[in-house]
Amino acid sequence: MRPSISCIVGDFGSGKTLFMTYLAYMNQNYRKVFANYHLNDIPYTYISINDLAKFPDELRNAIVLIDEGHVGANAYDVFKKDVRNIAQFITQIRKRNIVMFWSTQRFRRVALPLRELTKYFYEMHPTEYDGVSHVKIFDIDNNYEFIKEFIFDGRKMFGKYDTEEIILNKTE
């Protein structure tokens, strides 16, 4: 994977965090995994969205998973220092060989700098089966050009994270 930023958007219960957990599981032997939510039975490093902007040295050749991206990079907080720091961080991911995924229910709720540097848009739709989602991928840079769609069966990821964990913006 080349360094890039992708968003995963969908309603409550559409499988966003389940899909990101699957990405952590699939990358655990190839890249360091960093996440702002807690994973079970998958090697990872917990990192808050604010700590990303500090460019920790171990944050190299990694996949970064940010659940509830609007919490730490809210569109309405664009002038806050931590949001400006996140904007600076995301412009530098290529230099650290980072692949980043962030999730939200509404794309426009996330700060403009993060939206503008997002390359791929994963649209999640729940199906009649818990843990199974219909996924559509679009290339934002090319006027939301449709790339592909597939059915994601994430039921094997049940129990790999806490579905009731509250994601908070950790400030200093």
| Residue that wins the pLDDT comparison between 163 and 156 | 156
> What's the confidence (pLDDT) of residue 152?
98
Q: Please say whether the beta carbons of 151 and 134 come within 8 A.
A: yes
Check residues 144 and 108 and name the one with the higher pLDDT. Answer: 144
Q: pLDDT tens digit string along 61-117?
A: 999 998 877 555 544 444 455 556 666 677 777 888 889 888 887 777 666 667 777
pTM: 0.85
pLDDT of residue 114: 72
CB-count exposure of residue 10 (10 Å: 0-12, 13-18, 19+): buried
Residues 6 or more apart whose Cβ sits within 8 Å of residue 95 = none
Domains and CATH numbers, the chain: 4-157 (3.40.50.300)
pLDDT bin (cut points 50, 70, 90) of residue 147 is: very high
Question: What's the pLDDT score for residue 133?
Answer: 98
Query: How many C-alpha atoms does 157 have within 13 Å on its Cβ side?
Result: 24
Sheet of 132-139, strands arranged across: 45-46, 32-35, 62-66, 98-104, 4-9, 120-126, 132-139, 145-153
The whole-number pLDDT of residue 168 equals 65
Model pLDDT for residues 5-44, shown as the tens digit of each residue: 889 999 989 999 999 999 999 999 999 999 999 999 999 9
pLDDT at position 74 is 46
Are the beta carbons of 13 and 107 closer than 8 angstroms? no
| Over residues 139-158, mean pLDDT | 95
Query: Do residues 86 and 114 make contact, with C-beta atoms less than 8 angstroms apart?
Result: yes
